[in-house]
Amino acid sequence: MKLEFESGVFLHSLLGGDLKSLVYLEKALGLEKVVSRDGWVQLQGSPAQLAVGQKIFTDLEDARRGGAELTTRDFRIAVDMAVRESGQSVSEMVSVKLMASRSGKAVVPKSPGQADYITAMQSHDVTFGLGPAGTGKTYLAMAMALTMLKEKLIHRVVLTRPAVEAGEALGFLPGDLKEKVAPYLRPLYDALHDMLGPEEGQKYLEDGTIEIAPLAYMRGRTLARSFVILDEAQNTTPEQMFMFLTRLGEGSRCAVTGDSSQVDLKDGQQSGLAEAEQALQDVEGVALVKLTGADVVRHEVVGRIIAAYEVARGSD
């Protein structure tokens, strides 16, 4: 089967700019041979294999014509989803767009799991983003919050996380409480500054439109017309988690991010995130989205490291 495209440049863009993508396609589909020249690809294999191959290129072409700049990762995701017959597509995945980052590019999901996470935040009052580091849990929650802020769907953004050593250890650090917990909140500032320019971000922080505070500051408050993000939720106690979830007021949304495998609480102390996962599975308006190593968008080796650890720990 020969698939022809308008130009070699366009075909190259479908491959994420790397002809080695065709090797991945050939192995994943079990094709006899894949040959490419200027503007066309020829696939040799069974009728079933060819049908899957055509579906992959149709998906990629739809995504590209929709304005997406495809990467080799996107190409491999398209292949993997077609082979698994997941019913998902790269064109649908990249059509989900949030506000532009400082680079000027819209924030889009980089995996099917991330697309599910964004869709959940759009349609649920409370969304739990659960999974390992590098899956974009906090970054995408931040992008969703700022998108809703820009669209005037909410009035303010509140970012919080527990300071797991908020006891005697903090007492030895210099400064007031805000200065003591600043190191714990640094990742939230980093994500914020990645999306907003320094001046705009500082303006929002100074006028209270965006607030970054330790979890202890949430007690006794009711947060209305706000998007609230609780980061590193695995380090909350059950009492802290319950307190946080009951702060939401009218017109508010909430995203809770965490990784139950990375709990830093003292031995024997139950994680509030673990309890919430069990208690809230069937609650209307609450979504629990589980991300995996396949959703890691850092260096490719990070995903392989996570997968290796999951296998090793699962065999203990």
Give the residue, 37 or 182, on which the prediction is more confident: 37
174, pLDDT greater than 80:
no
Report pLDDT for 47.
94
Helix, strand, coil abundance in the chain, percent, nearest 5: 50, 15, 35
Q: Which CATH architecture is the domain 98-314 placed in? A: 3-Layer(aba) Sandwich (3.40)
For residue 167, the model assigns a pLDDT of: 43
What is the pLDDT at residue 103? 63
Q: Mean pLDDT of all residues in the chain? A: 86
Question: Residue 179: its pLDDT value, please?
Answer: 65
Residues 6+ apart with CB under 8 A from 244: 160, 215, 218, 228, 230, 236, 256
- The CA distance from 17 to 301, in Å, is 20
Residue 95's pLDDT band (cuts 50, 70, 90) = confident
Decide which of 159 and 190 is more confident.
159
Q: Is residue 232's pLDDT more than 60? A: yes
In this prediction, residue 197 has a pLDDT band, given cuts at 50, 70 and 90, of confident
Taking 80 as the threshold, does the pLDDT of residue 80 lie above it? yes
Query: Is there a contact between 219 and 244 (Cβ–Cβ < 8 Å)?
Result: no
Confidence of residue 190 (pLDDT cuts 50, 70, 90): confident
* Residue 168 pLDDT grade (very low, low, confident, very high; cuts 50, 70, 90): very low
d(CA 265, CA 236): 8
Determine the average pLDDT of the residues in 65-72. Answer: 88
Closest CA to 87 of 123, 116, 126: 116
Q: Residue 104 — very low, low, confident or very high, per pLDDT cuts 50/70/90?
A: low
Q: Which two tokens stand for residue 43?
A: 């696939």
Distance (Å, rounded) from C-alpha 101 to C-alpha 45? Answer: 43
pLDDT band, very low/low/confident/very high, at 34 (cuts 50, 70, 90): very high
For residue 197, with 0-12 CB atoms within 10 Å meaning exposed, 13-18 middle and 19 or more buried, which class applies? exposed
More confident call, 130 vs 182: 130
pTM: 0.79
The per-residue b/e assignment along 212-246, b for 16 or more CB within 10 angstroms, e otherwise, is bbbbeebeeeebeebbbbbbbbbbbbbebbebbbe
Residues 187, 193, 196, 202, CA torsion sign? positive
Residue 185 has pLDDT above 90, yes or no: no
